[in-house]
Structure 1
């Protein structure tokens, strides 16, 4: 028997966090909605087992990560670099909005594994051990992927260096 009410309550309570994680993994609202929907469908089909496991949010985060990688592997986009950066938005935007856009663009240029590590470690605030568990890798892989991702972010968006350094220190 499926506990529909329990599933609905869980989704209602955790939707903002899960949506944010999906958005940061996918890099766009439409892709994030699709990613989250696929993960929630999988979780709903096995909700009795998922809820009995103890931490359904961690289980769904793991589904999100695996769905993200599965989708990426199916589509394999080629990155096209140019000598000229695209124009930035109008001058009336706040510094925070500009920083967010720069971060989104930089995250989009990371590999899926590097993006997942950054999202899980710094936006979801998971430990290295929990991140390794969610990703199904070793703690050493999480550490090396984090190092590579932060290095690449420093190169792709030097203006984020101060933000990245603050995150590394904390």
Structure 2
């Protein structure tokens, strides 16, 4: 098994953190993992993306050629990365921001209004964690508990955020699981 991910959006949306969390979860499951960040010179508001590869075997190249799973937090990310999607891939979008997802082949599009979902739980900073919950609900890559442990592990030095992050994860998971 090898999965190739791209996480993309504006700086400040937690894109790099999202990719790191998924990479950490893969590593915690004894998988081979790569994570490569890419971002503009601006700290917030510029473009940001990262690639993650998770595999049972050694990874020959860290570069993603064909995307299995795209997490797009803004419209420019869809426009930029859609051509690289595998025909049977999955696109997760924050439909609070992304309004137009062109359909291509057999790509599954999972739309979650992550901004609104997080506003309902009073944790507006958790949209990226909400998207991880949606990812967990629509794939069988890892069990739900693995994601929760990965989130806790990533934020181990900030335990004050455990409850809020796990609530955002659960909200995203529940939103997609009920569909």
The structure with the largest alpha-carbon Rg is 1
TM normalised by structure 1 equals 0.33
TM normalised by structure 2 equals 0.32
Q: Of Structure 1 and Structure 2, which has the larger fraction of its residues in helix?
A: 1
Q: Of Structure 1 and Structure 2, which has the larger fraction of its residues in strand?
A: 2
